[in-house]
Amino acid sequence: MKKIVVLTGAGMSAESGISTFRDAGGLWDQYPVEQVATPEGYAANPKLVTDFYNARRKQLLTVEPNEGHRLVAALEKEYEVTVVTQNVDNLHERAGSTHVIHLHGELTKVTSSRNPNDPRQIRELQPEEYEIKIGDKAADGSQLRPFIVWFGESVPNIEVAADYVGEADIVIIIGTSLNVYPATGLLYYAKKDAAIYLIDPAEVKVPYDRHVHVIQKGASEGMRELSKLLAINS
């Protein structure tokens, strides 16, 4: 069975109504990154940051996976699929994908503010627990914080993701620029004979000498086209 790695970014979930940070009218316009997505911002105002992620968590209850998510999950019928996502939502899992690596953490999980990457401290929240308060403690007694990789923090899963990319026969990139880390770095691990597909409605400049089959469409429409291409080539 051929192996596929699907690398997804904010454009994957945009069709579901998840706010992106970088687009006009996105979250960066409402909150400076330094306030809500850095360790320094959290140290300066933990309540603001906690409330920000509470609101994002509750937004998940109002959105559904889009057709693009479902078509990615459907690839598992014919391929061994690993999803490597920069997104912190759980829409891939809800669409049926069974092997998802989150590079930037998971919105539905919380962890210790003292040792955020200690597996013993990380726990999944049920929807009725989505409102975290100052004073809520992790198992080690420290304040619970979002299980999110903030700017300036290391990306624990990047090496694991690189290993999967290195074994893939097909790499599919959806809704993330090839000019933005970690997509660029991960693609250098792809085998020389791996087929690479890029789905994005914007014009994307391919930054190196690899043939990339570009489908200039949104996630759902692009995945419909790619699913047909893969069926023809299989």
Q: Which residues are catalytic, by number?
A: 104
b vs e for 31-52, b when ≥16 Cβ sit within 10 Å of the residue's Cβ? beeebbbbeebbeeeeeebbbb
Displacement of CA 162 from its chain's centroid (Å): 15
Pairing of strands 123-124, 105-112: antiparallel
What residues form DSSP beta bridges with 214? 198
Name the H helices within 110-193: 158-167, 183-187
| Token reading at 17 | 């109504």
For the beta carbon of residue 158, count every other beta carbon within 10 angstroms.
Answer: 17
Dihedral, CA of residue 101, residue 105, residue 107 and residue 110, to nearest 10: 120
